[in-house]
Structure 1
Amino acid sequence: MHLSHALTHRGTVREINEDAFLELPHLGIWVVADGMGGHAAGDVASQLVIDGIQQAVEHLKPENITLDMLKQSLLKSNHALQQMSEQELEGKVAGSTVVVLWIYQDSYHLLWVGDSRIYLLRDQQMNQVTKDHSQVNDMVDEGLLLPEEAESHPLANVITRAVGVDNTLDIDHRTDKVKVGDVFLLCSDGLNKELNDIEIERTIKSGNIIDSGLALLHASLVRNARDNVTCILVKNTQVNKSLVDDNDKTIPVFTY
């Protein structure tokens, strides 16, 4: 059984919300996509990625879903965005980052492109389980930049991969065992631009997934949320539905 809670907000600066998300707990699938700011049709791009995954899996039973199926959906979205760029946008780029979490039986699977993130809180310790496809992250890997300098660097907004940008799409993936009590956070970079990992971890530890999600969004808005902010919290539990605390059930998302 998986509990989840999703929230999205356009922030205090952007006129539209270019983030999109998918929440399918009955299939064990959650997705966050972030349309590329400053490019054409970022909101259309992110929603196209989300719709592609939903259409690929919504008619299936959990046991019929495969990792390759999810990858193929992203590849199809990449091709569709390339066509849209050529035929409707006069060659202007329409792109999106994406992070996908799929939990099935005793394993979790991650797919990602770009700098949206997935964190895992396990045994009261949080770690980022995706790796940003960004210019500053490459510089950190090459020893040219310290990790603590990355967020404030002038190139912090430059990503090196996105759905829809190139003819070929390089998708990273990770598979590992899932444990009862694991809490995953999927988020667009609008969240981690405003809150550092220590603050995020402290907030997730402080309450159930609904309280934690609301607190994360509130904290980012208090700091003027320069970008759109989207987060999904997913808790893996084997507790019987009838025994679940009413305060920790999935509730509808709200948007502004």
Structure 2
Amino acid sequence: MHIAFHAQSHKGLVRQLNEDACLAMPEAGVWAVADGMGGHAAGDVASQMVMDMLKTVVDNAGERISPALLQQALQDANQALVKYSKQQLLGTLAGSTVVVLLIQQQHYHLLWAGDSRCYLLRDNQLIQLSHDHSQVNEMVAQGLLAASEAETHELANVITRAVGVDTELEVAIRSAACRPGDLFLLCTDGLTKELPDHEIHQYLQHDDIADASKALLHSTLVAGAKDNVTSILVKLHNSNNINLNDKTIPLNLKIV
């Protein structure tokens, strides 16, 4: 199996600073996006610290990379951010959402905290693999709010879990089999707040993932891009069914 991917990040049309960050380590089968918490000090520092910690762990692990090691990297990033906030920001929080995708030997492993998302397009069906750690999502789950009202609710931007906010971080994890043709989208809420799922679905059906990725960004900018926008597309191919226009690498990683 081979992997094609495309990553991009844009500050949007309103924000002066890009507080998003992303990581693409295809040789290790690892991709991630992070969103520095809006309204908090040093959000750009927070998101980059999370990416740097993940990169260090992946580099050191080599073929021994595993979901457990990635989870520990996020815990270490959480402790580092809590310490940074206390020492450098006089206790003001610097936090970040995060979503991490690991692909190993026909399986995917997803780790996340916050409202950055991962979608899977399979058999022309778009599935949101992650669930938002947000106030409105909890209200929907409890039957207190209709799902159709969530995006426009006054608490829509209030997240309940993020790296660096509390001394203890609970990381959500999801694992399952993957197969050729699967297309994963990792993105910050700067994209999902502007584009509904049905529009995202439409663009992901494009055969060329670079064109699909650029179309997502363009439509987000057309919609106003009030926040930073970061996305990564990751597509799995059969080794004998590769688009030579895509940037692909062989997937031949060992499971630990």
TM-score (ref. length: structure 2): 0.94
Match of 1:52? 53
In structure 2, how many angstroms separate the alpha carbons of the residues matched to 1:142 and 1:60? 40
Moved over 4 A (4+): none
1:41 maps to a residue whose letter is A
Asked if 1:117 is matched to 2:117, the reply is: yes
Q: Aligned residue for 2:16?
A: 15
Query: Alpha-carbon deviation of 1:148?
Result: 1.1
SS in 1 for 2:245: helix
Q: How does 1:108-147 map to 2 (within 5 A)?
A: 108-147=108-147
Q: 1:160: how far off?
A: 0.2
Instruction: Summarize deviations over 1:132-163 as a string: whole Å, max 9, x none.
Output: 00000001001111111111111100000000
Instruction: List aligned pairs for 1:76-225, cutoff 5 A.
Output: 76-225=76-225
Name the SS for the 2:31 alignment partner: strand
SS class of match (1:111): strand
Q: Does 1:28 align with 2:29?
A: yes
Q: How does 1:33-44 map to 2 (within 5 A)?
A: 33-44=34-45
Q: Unpaired runs of 5+ in structure 1?
A: 251-256
Counterpart-to-counterpart distance in 2, 1:193 and 1:121: 19
- One-letter amino acid of the counterpart of residue 244, structure 1: I
Report how far residue 3 of structure 1 moved: 0.8
Say whether residues 1:245 and 2:243 are aligned partners: yes
1:110: Cα distance to partner? 0.3
For 1:45-102, what per-residue CA distance to the aligned partner results, in whole angstroms no more than 9, with x for missing partners?
A: 000000000000124433x111111011000000000001110001000000000000
Q: Percent identity?
A: 55
Distance 2:177 2:89 in 1: 43
| 8 Å Cα contact 1:18-1:42 kept in structure 2 | yes
Deviations 1:182-234 (A, max 9, x none): 00000000000000000000110133210100000000000110000000000
Counterpart amino acid of 1:205? Q
Size of the alignment, in residue pairs? 247
Cα deviation for residue 106 of structure 1 reads 1.4
Amino acid at match of 1:245: N
Return the alpha-carbon distance in structure 2 between the equivalents of residues 152 and 84 of structure 1: 33
Secondary structure of the residue aligned to 2:108 is strand
Distance, in Å, in 2 between the alignment partners of 1:131 and 1:245 is 32
Aligned-residue CA RMSD (Å) = 1.1
